[in-house]
Amino acid sequence: MSSPNFIDHVKFQSRSGKGGAGCLHFIREKFVEKGGPDGGDGGRGGHIILKGNSQLWTLLHLKYRKHVVAENGKPGESQNCTGASGKDEILEVPMGTVARDAETGEKLCEITEDGQEYILTRGGRGGRGNLFFATSTQRAPTHTQPGEPGMEHWVVLELKLLADVGLVGFPNAGKSTLLSVVSAAKPKIADYAFTTLTPNLGVVSYREDKSFVMADIPGIIEGAAEGKGLGIRFLRHIERNSLLLFMIPADSKDIKTEYGILLNELKKYNPELLDKKRMLAITKADMLDAELKAEMKKDVPSELPVVFISAVTNQGISELKDLIWKNLH
């Protein structure tokens, strides 16, 4: 996943097509005296449709489309011919895309399957032609309907990554390093805070050709819910994860306190995140001996599965995979 091309939030104006007008027409043929009405209905205006595409992983292709407009329906024609419907505008989006009304914040839909379609903005119906209004007493109606106007509103699309495991931790906790070791992902790794500026995904191979997907998001700091650091913008990417893997380095001053800060920031963002399964990985464990590990385990909640790992020496990596797989299944 290339950072500059990862776009997970777009806003645009969605405008559907208006319906075509009904036709006012009477039969005019050489041997037909006083021909009756034969005006057809107008065509439907085009819809704006969202469609899931499993081959997409970003909203980059929609970033510069500030106005999405569907085609208008065609007017009805003589001989009771219905006008052509306006062409629908189909927007393909990655799985995990949520559409919201930009003004109210109301959730409109959620695309979770390949090929799933949702009419985001419905096109106007076509108007009735004068044939529709013919009755036994009104045989020559001159009344038709105009087409319905299209709808127009501003829409926000948010992408939430679909992954099994979400990595949660402070900047420089070793999240990107772990992802680069257990998968083929190549996130940027450096010795300074906020090296990771966009989420990264990696497929982790397990035994007997099994696998699971791991997501690395930018680091969280205390006060993220109030906008500090990179804020909580990327926390939506772990809302779909089945398991949250908290990562705290072994040289941390107080593991229990850091874990509490991370948990509190998740709670402020969305209390439902605390209902997910949680694990704790203590990174940089190659600098610890057995006695230190035993002491550190006493400082973490007893119900929390803990594993000591080192991405540099591969210490505990197999154990970590086993524990993740066990919790996922």
Express each pLDDT in 147-158 by its tens digit.
999 999 999 998
Q: Where are the domain boundaries for CATH 2.70.210.12 in the chain?
A: 1-159
The fourth-level CATH superfamily of domain 1-159 is GTP1/OBG domain (2.70.210.12)
Which range, 113-122, 227-236, 245-254, 296-305, is most confident? 113-122
> Is 83 or 250 the better-scoring residue by pLDDT?
83
CATH class of 165-328: alpha beta
Q: Where in the chain is the domain with CATH 3.40.50.300?
A: 165-328
* Structure confidence by residue, pLDDT tens digits, 189-223: 444 344 445 677 778 888 877 888 888 877 776 65
Q: pTM for this structure?
A: 0.71
- Average pLDDT value for the chain: 84
Of residues 260, 200, 194, 272, the one with CA closest to residue 231: 194
Q: Residue 87 pLDDT more than 90?
A: yes
DSSP of 177-239: HHHHHHSS------SSTT---S-EEEEEE-GGG-EEEEEE-PPP-TTGGGT-TTTTGGGGGGT
- Distance between CA atoms of 27 and 128, rounded to whole angstroms? 17
Identify the pLDDT of residue 77: 94
What is the C-alpha separation between 1 and 58, in angstroms, rounded? 9
Calpha distance 170→176 (Å, rounded) = 12
Please tell me the distance from the alpha carbon of residue 294 to that of residue 222, in angstroms, as a whole number: 27
Match 């038709």 to its residue by tokens.
Answer: 144
Residue type, 179: L
Region of residue 236 (phi > 0: left; psi between -120 and 50: alpha; otherwise: beta): alpha
CB under 8 Å to 164, separation ≥6 — which residues? 212, 213, 214, 241, 242, 243, 324, 328
